């Protein structure tokens, strides 16, 4: 089973008797499931207008909830969450220096050991496992670049590499199909507009995996069908990338060009498109 150290990940700890209810009113997933049927959750923090700000994995550690987040976003997340704490009995701490984050993929679960939390990646079975180590030892036998290729092939977004702060709508990025949203838990920040987008069919673009035939374009390079811009490329590695494409571009047989490369959309089985958008 390949295992890679993800040095660009950090860990926050949310503790206190009101940690769960505090997060429940802010994030896109149902935090109560950590005490029921989920060892980990994938969730996002949105603007009041329903636009992406950050996403992270939530993992229960005793009485605390750990956030496996982007390392670069950790200071901002602490500041942002603190704004909403008010009188809640909650402590928010950056424990990035204590924890090391690994990803493992393959069918077998990594071996349990003291000081290591091992949880299934909640997005897809094929995604593998998240391993948070605090005192335990994990010897990686793969690189972060190897994991990058794995998640790109599955079509899994990686935070700010693929999503735009204050702009991306969760349904464009697969959060519905990838179990990053609860539609039944009640109100949360950005919930109303996210639900409206879903039930009114307002999604016009999707983030999809593509095969790159030619030099890998830089993130943000426009994608063209003939002379019309139909999207932009996001993160990529080698001949794999993610691209945010308009639905009509996915339904058309036209060639997609990006920089000096041709892109070929390879839609994963989990991705649900409207019938009139299926190629």
The token pair at 189 is: 């920040």
Range of the domain at 67: 3-161
Pick from 75, 212, 224, 232: nearest CA to 164: 232
The CATH number of the domain where 126 resides is what? 3.30.1360.120
Q: How open is the CA angle 31-97-136, to the nearest 5 degrees?
A: 80
Q: Among residues 145, 148, 178, 232, which one has the least CA distance to residue 55?
A: 178
Instruction: Say which CATH number the domain at 236 has.
Output: 2.40.30.110
pLDDT of residue 126: 96
- Residue 107 and residue 218 in one domain: no
Number of compact structural domains in the chain: 2
User: Mean pLDDT per segment of 10 residues, for the chain of length 279 residues?
Assistant: 96 97 97 95 97 98 97 97 94 97 92 92 97 90 97 98 97 98 95 94 95 98 95 98 96 91 96 70
Which residue in this structure is represented by tokens 């693929």?
Answer: 162
């Amino acid at each position: 089973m390949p295992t890679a150290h993800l040095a660009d990940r950090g860990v926050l700890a949310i503790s206190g008797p009101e940690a769960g209810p505090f997060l429940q009113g802010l994030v896109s997933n149902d935090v109560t499931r950590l005490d029921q049927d989920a060892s980990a959750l994938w969730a996002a923090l949105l603007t009041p207008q329903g636009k992406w700000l950050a996403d992270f994995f939530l993992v229960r550690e005793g009485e605390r909830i750990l956030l496996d987040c982007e390392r670069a976003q950790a200071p901002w997340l602490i500041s942002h969450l603190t704004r909403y704490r008010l009188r809640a009995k909650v402590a928010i701490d950056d424990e990035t220096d204590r924890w090391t984050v690994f990803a493992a993929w393959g069918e077998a679960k990594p071996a349990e050991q003291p000081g290591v939390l091992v949880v299934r990646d909640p997005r897809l079975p094929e995604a593998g496992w998240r391993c948070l180590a605090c005192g335990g030892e994990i010897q990686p036998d793969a690189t972060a670049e190897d994991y990058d290729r794995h998640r790109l092939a599955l079509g899994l977004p990686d935070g700010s590499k693929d999503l735009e702060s204050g702009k991306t709508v969760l349904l464009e990025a697969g959060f519905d199909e990838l179990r990053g949203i609860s539609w039944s838990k009640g109100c949360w920040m950005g919930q109303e507009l996210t639900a409206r987008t879903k039930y009114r069919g307002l999604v016009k673009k999707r983030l999809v995996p593509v095969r790159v035939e030619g030099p890998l374009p830089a993130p943000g390079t426009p994608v063209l069908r003939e002379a019309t811009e139909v999207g932009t490329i996001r993160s990529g590695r080698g001949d794999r990338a993610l691209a945010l494409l308009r639905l009509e571009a996915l339904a058309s047989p036209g060639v997609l060009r990006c920089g000096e490369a041709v892109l070929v959309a390879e839609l994963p089985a989990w991705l649900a498109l409207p019938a009139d958008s299926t190629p």
